[in-house]
Amino acid sequence: MSPQIPDHDLIQRCRKLITAPRLHLSSLNTLYPVYRLPIPIHHPTSQSCEDYRAAATIDLDHDRESRSNGQKLAISDLRVLWGKQGIIERMSKDGDAVDVWKSYSSDKTTVSGRAVDCGHYIPEEAPEELLAEIEEFLA
């Protein structure tokens, strides 16, 4: 799927979410245009690469240590979304990341979620669907 340019209604709905008391973001007018800017080829993308590197190395070590110590997420609600054509769907045994996150969460945490019909980049590939999920989760 190719990235979609959000329409006016989508931008208005994002503004409403960002100004909600539960979220502490400065402004969609500031954030969205910056988010949409492509990273120039000559620009170092070290922070993005560092995040992926950590996820495949030290983060895994920290996760294993936390699990071996019995530590679990202690939050009330967690919504998990993943791209149906992405790596999570292909790599999981049954295609359900919700069960994985339930095992990482305390008994008091309500975990919900589903695969979104897109690839890895949900905000770019399915912005309307993602926004609807966020609105429902925060309602």
For 9-23, what is each residue's pLDDT tens digit?
665 666 565 555 444
Element (H, E) at 80: strand 77-83
The pTM of the whole model exceeds 0.75: no
DSSP letter (8 states) at residue 118: S
Angle (deg, nearest 10), helices 8-18 and 28-36: 120
In angstroms, the CA 81 to CA 130 distance is 9
Residue partners of 47: CB distance under 8 A and separation at least 6: none
Q: What is the pLDDT of residues 19-75, one digit of tens each?
A: 554 444 444 455 556 556 665 555 556 667 777 778 888 888 998 999 999 999 999
Q: What is the pLDDT of residues 74-84, one digit of tens each?
A: 999 999 999 99
pLDDT at 1: 45
